[in-house]
């Protein structure tokens, strides 16, 4: 069975694809520029802190997310969740001395919730891939 999109949707679909790829390319380029500026600032300061390493790790994760999109044409939902977890860890490290204990517990709770959601989403992706594989095997068998 061949699925056909209405003519207007087919004619507009390319705009979505092109704009999505262009914006993600800009995000990748901007992330590389930001990482280079951050590395230069660390070099000038002649100081590398743990929070700096977390920031560089966030840049790497964003570049990885853009790369994952270009290789699979989809962004796994777990990657932005992992970026959020890393950002919260960086925030805790940067503010740990001046932070109220309840705020620290709240941020740790947010990390726990995000970790649980990343795990659940990875299970969903695994089930989805298994269903896709079963559908392909059923289609090939018939």
Q: What is the pLDDT of residues 60-90, one digit of tens each?
A: 999 999 998 888 887 778 889 999 999 999 9
Mean pLDDT, residues 49-64 taken together: 94
Q: Is the dihedral of CA 98, 101, 106, 107 positive or negative?
A: positive
CA-angle at 56, arms to 123 and 116, nearest 5°:
20
Identify the pLDDT of residue 5.
57
Q: What pTM did the predictor assign?
A: 0.74
Cα–Cα distance measured from residue 46 to residue 33, given in angstroms and rounded to the nearest whole number: 20
8 A C-beta contact, residue 24 and residue 66: yes
8 Å CB contact between 94 and 50: no
Q: Within 10 A of 1 (CB to CB), how many other CB atoms are there?
A: 2
Mean pLDDT of 31-49: 96
């Amino acid at each position: 069975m061949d699925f056909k999109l209405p003519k207007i949707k087919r004619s507009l679909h390319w705009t979505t694809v092109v704009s999505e790829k262009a914006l993600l390319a800009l995000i990748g380029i901007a992330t590389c520029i930001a990482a280079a500026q951050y590395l230069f600032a660390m070099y000038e300061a002649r100081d590398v802190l743990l929070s700096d390493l977390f920031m560089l790790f966030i840049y790497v994760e964003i570049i990885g997310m853009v790369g994952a999109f270009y290789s699979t044409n989809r962004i796994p939902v777990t990657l932005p969740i992992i970026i959020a977890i890393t950002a919260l860890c960086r925030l805790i490290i940067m503010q740990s001395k001046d932070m109220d204990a309840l705020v620290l517990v709240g941020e740790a709770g947010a990390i726990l919730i995000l970790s649980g959601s990343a795990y659940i989403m990875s299970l969903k992706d695994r089930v989805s891939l298994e269903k896709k594989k079963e559908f392909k095997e059923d289609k090939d068998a018939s």
